[in-house]
Amino acid sequence: MKRTFPRKKLFWLASLSLLICCLGGILLDDRASANSANSGSGNSSDSKLASDLRDSLSKRKSGDELVSVIVQLNGRMTSDLNAFLNSNGVHLKGNFKNLSCMFVEVPVNLVEKLAEFDEVAYVTPNRDLQADGHVSQTSGAASRRVQTTSTGSTYTLDGTGVGIAILDSGIYTSHKSFTNDFGVSRIAYSKDFTGENRVDDPYGHGTHVAAIAAGNKNYYNAAYAGIALDAKIVNLRVLNSQGRGSSATLLAAIDWIMANRLIYNIRVANMSLGMSAVDSYKNDPVCKGVRRLVDAGIVVVAAAGNSGTDSQGRKIYGQIHCPGNEPSAITVGAANSFGTDVRSDDTITTYSSRGPTRSYWTDTNSTKHYDNLVKPDLVAPGNKIVSAESPNNSLVQQNPSLDKSLTTDVTNEMMYLSGTSMSTPVAAGAAAMLIGLNPNLTPNLVKTILMYTSQPLAGANHLEQGAGELNIAGAVDLTKLVRTDLNSSTAQGTSLLTASAPVAQTTLYNYTFNWSGGVILDQTYGKGTDLITKYQKVYGLGVLLGDATKLNSSGVLIGDSMFVTTGVLLGDSILTSNGTSIGSGTSFLSSGVLLGDGVLLGDGVLLGDGVLLGDGVLLGDGVLLGDAKGVLLGDSFNGDNTACMY
């Protein structure tokens, strides 16, 4: 299944490469050569240091000053490295054994020496981490909770027994949203990783997030019910009283999940938080930790971020944050439902971060190679969401208008919040519902089902909405037909369903819409009924959905028959949807642009390394650069390592 680009498009891409080169920008390189390199992990100690860490070290005035770093290992620790870590003023602050990495404080003048050890794979700074309508009804969860068996009996599809880990600012566990129908708490476990020795939620973010994912329907006539009403909640506090954490706190929680996932049946991890995506997902320790969770069978759902516009309200691209830049995660942007249950008026929020991912690795010639993945994977309602409120939390104290003021009972008060932090737990709750229906679903199959059944929103491109808006009703309808005996031995191309494929439409509140009928795959998308009628090897553990594509010797994306059947068609451009399906709409930009390094074209926007083509320069397919519709954005991700609250 080979694709070729039109001759006109190749001409304009070649012209663009020459022009960018002449202007001092980054040439559009063939990604095949980038992938064959060592992902920035060469033999020299300098190549093992993250770029922002190198920059930080050069600005330090004292060699004795301590710097906090995350050290990734490529094997067992030797006695020489162990001796180094126990001398020279080095302090081992945390050892994440399940992730093969450590949290270390080391003098500035010894960082490069640390990187020289053969067993050290990569060293990154301990980056700063922050938390960044009627979701049950408009997402379709409420319409599919009551299910009927083949014998005519009914049961409630509510995620019973499925554990959802909430990695956030803590949870006010006394809130009534977290009880079951008998008034018993569903908080299965709580642990603090911030050092504050508390698991409640003085900041107010985590409680709100947890109730969106799994708040019950027993109050307010179920108007503010969450998604997976009876799921177990595991409260992992990685953000402190100011809503701040670090790479180390997040890695500690991920390491804990790896060690305890079977005890609490943790099948979903919600990360409504993030930090600047600097290192390629191939090197970033948090991304690699997320991959370990996914490979272990845990669905990881991450916020895209809230950096969709600049200070003047103009669209910007390339601001997906970490760990949303990890390809194995389900990265969620925010849709605006305008407070209605019907979906005909839904749009993408202005603040929701757009792709592609701009994390990168640097080769031995100091050339940056960008990941450029299409993200988010999908969107979900995230604007002015009403959910549980933690008493006297900082967010409400600083913004009293966020208080919904429904009651004087602090154990049942509600508040408003907006952001991709709110849309993320909608998808996490949906994943728990699907796993409750079919426990044999792998993370990749859950991700496929959620994307395939999503609703494409007209006027939004793939870099804004991924496959479309989450449609839990359709996802449940499809999941009911998926075989429950799938495993690693299932042959590619065998039947995925127990019956014929359902009609790819959903009706909610008398409004019928089409499913996207496809999935996001790295720099492109795949579509076709084979995705839901035939088992694909990319649905297994230890692989990525993006393994469905590979580059030929000319740098053109082709289908990989080792992982997908020939019935899966790849797109040749990033589209602005007309609301029909994932493959319908107008071309926004060629996916071939995303295969190169340094630039992104489309809608008047050039993203890259400070190269802006002047007004009136017209390149292929009618794309006008620098026409004031967009902005130039560099690679600084707001200039520091601090993420915004999502």
Q: Contact 274/284 with Cβ under 8 angstroms? A: no
497/481 Cα distance (integer angstroms): 5
Q: How far is CA 336 from the centre of its chain?
A: 19
Q: Which of the two residues, 339 and 521, has the higher pLDDT score?
A: 521
Average pLDDT, the chain: 83
- Find out whether 268 and 261 touch, Cβ atoms under 8 Å: no
Domain's final residue, options 126, 153, 183: 126
Taking alpha carbons only, the member of 119, 41, 123, 124 closest to residue 80 is 119
Quick check: is 60 in a domain? yes
Please indicate whether residue 63 or residue 234 has the higher confidence score (pLDDT): 234
Residues 174 and 274 in one domain: yes
CA distance 614 to 632: 11
User: Can you list the pairs that 608-616 forms with residues at least 24 positions away whose Cβ atoms lie under 8 Å?
Assistant: 608/25, 608/26, 608/634, 608/635, 609/25, 609/26, 609/368, 609/634, 609/635, 610/25, 610/634, 611/20, 611/23, 611/24, 611/25, 611/26, 613/19, 613/23
Of 605, 602, 590, 51, which is closest to residue 310 (Cα–Cα)? 605
Written as one letter, the residue type at 244 is: R
SS3 of 511-564: the string is EEEECCCEEEECCEEEECCHHHHECCHHHCCCCCHHHHEEECCCCCEEECCCCC
CB atoms within 10 A of CB 160: 17
How many residues would you count in the chain? 646
In the predicted structure, residue 536 carries a pLDDT above the cut 90:
yes
In a domain, 645, yes or no: no
High-pLDDT (> 90) share of the chain, %: 63
Work out the average pLDDT over 88-108.
92
Contact 330, 380 (CB under 8 A): no
Percent of the chain whose pLDDT exceeds 70: 81
Tokens coding 107: 């003098």
In a shared domain, residues 484 and 590: no
Indicate whether 483 belongs to any domain. Answer: yes
**374 bridge partner residues:** none
- The string of pLDDT tens digits covering residues 225-283 is 899 999 999 999 999 999 999 999 999 999 999 999 999 999 999 999 999 999 999 99
Radius of gyration of the chain measured on its C-alpha atoms: 24
Are both 526 and 598 inside the same structural domain?
no
Does one domain contain both 358 and 419? yes
Which of the four pLDDT bands, split at 50, 70 and 90, describes residue 642? Answer: very low
Write down the number of H helices and E strands in the chain. Answer: 16, 35
Phi and psi (nearest 5°) for 560? -100, 105
β-bridge partners, 94: 103
Q: Give the 3-state secondary structure percentages of the chain, helix then strand then coil, rounded to 5.
A: 25, 25, 50
Contact predicate 303/424, CB 8 Å: yes
Strand runs labelled E in 53-153? 66-73, 91-96, 101-107, 120-125, 128-131, 146-148
Number of domains into which the chain is organized? 3
Q: Of 126, 146, 173, which residue sits at a domain end? A: 126
pLDDT in tens, 344-396: 778 899 999 999 999 999 988 888 889 999 999 999 999 889 999 999 999 99
Q: Which tops the pLDDT comparison, 117 or 599?
A: 117
197: left (phi over 0), alpha (psi -120 to 50) or beta: left
Which residues are registered as beta bridge partners of 495? 534
Q: What is the pLDDT of residue 154?
A: 57
Task: Tell me: do 627 and 523 sit in the same domain.
Answer: no
Do 395 and 479 share a structural domain?
yes
Backbone angles phi, psi at 546, to 5 degrees: -65, -10
- Give the C-alpha separation, 342 to 557, whole Å: 38
pLDDT score of 210 more than 60: yes
- Give the span between the Cα atoms of 432 and 446, in whole angstroms: 9
Instruction: State the CATH number of the domain containing residue 69.
Output: 3.30.70.80
Task: Say what the pLDDT of residue 611 is.
Answer: 32
Least confident stretch, 201-210, 273-282, 312-321: 312-321
Check residue 129 and give its pLDDT: 84
What's the pLDDT score for residue 158? 81
- Check residue 484 and give its pLDDT: 95
Domain around 410 = 130-546
pLDDT of residue 590: 81
Structure tokens at 478: 């499809």
> What tens digit of pLDDT does each residue of 566-583 get?
999 999 889 999 999 999
Over residues 534-556, mean pLDDT = 91
Name the pLDDT band for 144 (thresholds 50, 70, 90). Answer: low
| Separation between Cα atoms, residue 205 and residue 396, nearest integer Å | 10
Per-residue b or e along 478-505, where b marks 16 or more CB atoms closer than 10 Å to that residue's CB? bbbbbeeebeeebebbeebbeeeebebe
pTM: 0.85
**137 and 122 in a common domain:** no
Structure confidence at residue 7 as a pLDDT band (50, 70, 90): very low
Section 167-192 average pLDDT: 96
Return d(Cα 130, Cα 416) in angstroms, integer: 19
Q: Identify residue 147 by its one-letter amino acid code.
A: Q
CA distance 333 to 357: 13
Give the least confident one: 168-172, 326-330, 341-345, 369-373. Answer: 341-345
Domain ends where: 68, 99, 126? 126
Is the pLDDT at 69 greater than 80? The verdict is yes
Q: Residue 519: inside a domain, yes or no?
A: yes
Predicted pLDDT at 609: 37
List CB contacts of 111: < 8 A, sequence separation 6 or more: 49, 53, 57, 67, 69, 123
User: How far apart (Å, rounded) are the C-alpha atoms in residues 11 and 124?
Assistant: 40
In sequence order, what DSSP letters do the residues of 29-76 get, joined into one string?
A: --HHHHHHS-TT--SSTGGGB-HHHHHHHHH-S-TT-EEEEEEEESSP
User: Is 533 found in the same domain as 412?
Assistant: yes
Q: Is residue 644 part of a domain?
A: no
On whether residue 561 sits in a domain, the answer given is: no
Supply the pLDDT for residue 641.
Answer: 33
Residue in 204, 234, 232, 230 with CA at minimum distance from that of residue 216: 230
For the stretch 595-615, pLDDT in tens is 776 555 544 454 433 333 222
| pLDDT at 623 exceeding the cut of 50 | no
pLDDT at 148: 56
- The encoded tokens of residue 316 equal 């910007």
* CA nearest neighbour of 90 among 118, 68, 61: 68
Please state the rounded mean pLDDT for residues 15-22: 34
Sign of CA dihedral 58, 64, 68, 70: positive
pLDDT (0 to 100) of residue 599: 57
Decide which of 509 and 155 is more confident. 509
CB 144 within 8 A of CB 71: no
552 assigned to some structural domain: no
Residue 470 pLDDT > 90, yes or no?
yes
Stronger pLDDT, 7 or 273, i.e. the higher one: 273
Of these ranges, 333-342, 490-499, 557-566, the one predicted with the greatest mean pLDDT is 490-499
283 and 359 in a single domain? The answer is yes
How much is the average pLDDT of 291-314? Answer: 93
Q: Confidence class of residue 313 from pLDDT cuts 50, 70 and 90?
A: confident
* Same-domain check for residues 26 and 97: no
Which segment of 8-12, 95-99, 215-219, 438-442 scores lowest on mean pLDDT?
Answer: 8-12
Across residues 201-209, what is the average pLDDT? 97
Q: Is the pLDDT of residue 199 over 60?
A: yes
User: How far is Cα 375 from Cα 461, in angstroms, rounded to an integer?
Assistant: 11
Q: Is the pLDDT of residue 211 over 60?
A: yes
Q: Specify if 567 maps to a domain.
A: no
Which tens digits make up the pLDDT trace of 475-495? 999 999 999 999 989 999 999
pLDDT at 232: 98
pLDDT digits (tens, 9 = 90+) for 79-97: 889 899 988 889 999 999 9
| Residue 186 belongs to domain with CATH number | 3.40.50.200
pLDDT tens-digit series, residues 282-302: 999 999 999 999 999 999 999
Greatest C-alpha distance within the chain: 74
Query: Nearest CA to 557 among 355, 374, 376?
Result: 374
Q: Where are the alpha helices (DSSP H) in 240-375?
A: 247-260, 285-295
Report helix, strand or coil for 10: helix
Three-point CA angle 379, 380, 386, nearest 5°: 150
Three-state DSSP at 501 gives coil
For residues 109-125, average pLDDT: 93
**12 and 56 assigned to the same domain:** no
pLDDT in tens, 437-467: 999 999 999 999 999 999 999 999 999 999 9
Q: Single out the residue of 321, 306, 351, 388 nearest to residue 135, CA to CA.
A: 388
Whether residues 175 and 148 fall in one domain: yes
What number is the average pLDDT over the span 537-545? 96
